[in-house]
């Protein structure tokens, strides 16, 4: 089944034009039947992750909050859902090698998925990525190549490596497997007996948002799909709002997992079809979200995984009384940095 969607512009447009513009029905690049099929090639260790209501968060947040927890697996993020699809296709075609650029989590996931299938994995990452992520990529037997620039510089270098060796380049969010792998989270949300009103999704390159968003809009279009990005790395949100690719010169956020500067047109096109909103949050709210998840849910998360809670913190009124799901997408955090951020509250101080 291919999802078809009324463009958000039609819904956002003025009422006088609504009838006309509703006729503009488009399709994302994703395919719901392929997403269902993806579940069969993804190692079950990454599937059917916990989804549970966390009442302890609710008095502070003023809404019903459920957590979709993507950290209790061997790579501590959702990324392996996509790399499992990529690696199984490559292995099925007899490929021997693959390369990706990574902010840290995709690289770990591709290393894990490739190792189990006899693939040589090269990961290109920024020298500034968290040491814990780089260490894990190495520990999973991948070849790690560091660049002096940021994630978008790593993307260029990974493309060069792929050309030079003639091997497959995995491009996060652009490659449909990364989106459809992430989209299996959406299927699991749909299988839940509980209904909810909105899903908060960390927005970086867009694989998670377009993947989950596609499934929700195909199967439960009434659920609000809200993407959340740091104010310090707003390129995709600006792009979504302006309906064209907007790049930035730099990023400035602790949420390293979503700190891209150059959105991809095809991903933006999909995002425009499935996202109901894209919001930007402050660093202080991300830290408050991390602290809240620790104090009230007992969860250590990386900054990107606290974006959803940060969005609620910044706009309690919007979510008041509603049932909101937030996808806790990763926990690969440098523990010393984590202590600095989360331990900074006076009551934890020395």
- Chain residues in the site for its own copies (CB under 8 A): 45, 48-56, 67, 69, 71-74, 76, 136, 139-140, 294-295, 298-300, 331-333, 335-336, 339, 343, 347-350
Provide, rounded to whole angstroms, the least separation between the CB of residue 293 and its own copies. 10
Provide, rounded to whole angstroms, the least separation between the CB of residue 122 and its own copies. 20
The residue among 11 and 48 lying less far from its own copies, judged by its C-beta, is 48
Is 67 in a helix, a strand, or coil? strand
Tokens of 218: 């195909």
DSSP class of 233? S
**Bridge partners, 5 (sequence order):** 26
Q: How far is CA 165 from the centre of its chain?
A: 29
- Are the beta carbons of 342 and 299 closer than 8 angstroms? no
Provide, rounded to whole angstroms, the least separation between the CB of residue 139 and its own copies. 7
Q: How far is CA 263 from the centre of its chain?
A: 14
Provide, rounded to whole angstroms, the least separation between the CB of residue 68 and its own copies. 10
The residue among 45 and 159 lying less far from its own copies, judged by its C-beta, is 45
Provide, rounded to whole angstroms, the least separation between the CB of residue 89 and its own copies. 22
Give CA separation, 134 vs 65, 111, 142, 325, in Å: 32, 11, 10, 30
The residue among 94 and 346 lying less far from its own copies, judged by its C-beta, is 346
Tokens of 262: 């150059």
The residue among 66 and 239 lying less far from its own copies, judged by its C-beta, is 66
Provide, rounded to whole angstroms, the least separation between the CB of residue 292 and its own copies. 11
Residue with tokens 């399709």: 27
Those residues whose C-beta lies under 8 Å from the C-beta of residue 149, and which sit 6 or more positions away, are 126
Q: Which helix (H) or strand (E) is 6 found in, with range?
A: strand 4-6
The residue among 158 and 297 lying less far from its own copies, judged by its C-beta, is 297
CA distance linking residue 55 with residue 296, whole number of Å: 9
The residue among 163 and 348 lying less far from its own copies, judged by its C-beta, is 348
**Bridge partners, 98 (sequence order):** 121, 168
């Amino acid at each position: 089944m291919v999802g078809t969607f009324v463009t958000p512009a039609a819904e956002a447009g003025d009422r006088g034009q609504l009838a006309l513009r509703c006729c503009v029905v488009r399709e994302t690049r994703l395919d719901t039947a392929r997403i269902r099929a993806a579940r069969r090639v993804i190692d079950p260790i990454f599937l059917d992750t916990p989804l549970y209501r966390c009442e302890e968060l609710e008095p502070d947040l003023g809404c019903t909050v459920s957590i979709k927890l993507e950290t209790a697996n061997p790579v501590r993020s959702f990324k392996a859902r996509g790399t499992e699809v990529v690696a199984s296709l490559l292995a099925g075609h007899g490929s021997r090698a693959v390369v990706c650029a990574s902010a840290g989590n995709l690289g770990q996931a591709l290393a894990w998925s490739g190792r189990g299938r006899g693939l040589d994995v090269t990961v290109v990452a920024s020298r500034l990525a968290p040491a814990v992520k780089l260490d894990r990529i190495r520990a999973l037997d991948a070849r790690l190549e560091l660049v002096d620039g940021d994630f978008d510089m790593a993307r260029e270098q990974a493309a060069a490596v792929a050309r030079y060796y003639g091997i497959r380049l995995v491009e996060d969010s652009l490659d449909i497997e990364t989106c459809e792998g992430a989209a299996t989270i959406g299927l699991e949300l749909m299988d839940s007996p509980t209904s909810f009103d909105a899903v908060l999704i960390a927005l970086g390159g867009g694989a998670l948002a377009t993947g989950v968003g596609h499934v929700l809009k195909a199967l439960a279009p009434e659920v609000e799909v809200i993407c959340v990005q740091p104010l310090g790395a707003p390129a995709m949100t600006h792009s979504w709002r302006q309906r064209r690719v907007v790049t930035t010169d730099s990023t400035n956020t602790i949420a390293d997992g979503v700190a891209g500067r150059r959105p991809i047109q095809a991903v933006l096109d999909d995002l425009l079809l499935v996202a109901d909103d894209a919001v930007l949050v402050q660093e202080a709210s991300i830290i408050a979200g991390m602290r809240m998840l620790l104090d009230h849910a007992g969860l250590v998360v990386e900054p990107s995984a606290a974006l959803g809670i940060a969005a609620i913190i910044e706009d309690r009124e919007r979510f008041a009384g509603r049932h909101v799901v937030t996808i806790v997408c990763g926990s690969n955090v440098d523990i010393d940095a984590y202590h600095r951020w989360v331990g900074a509250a006076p009551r934890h101080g020395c």
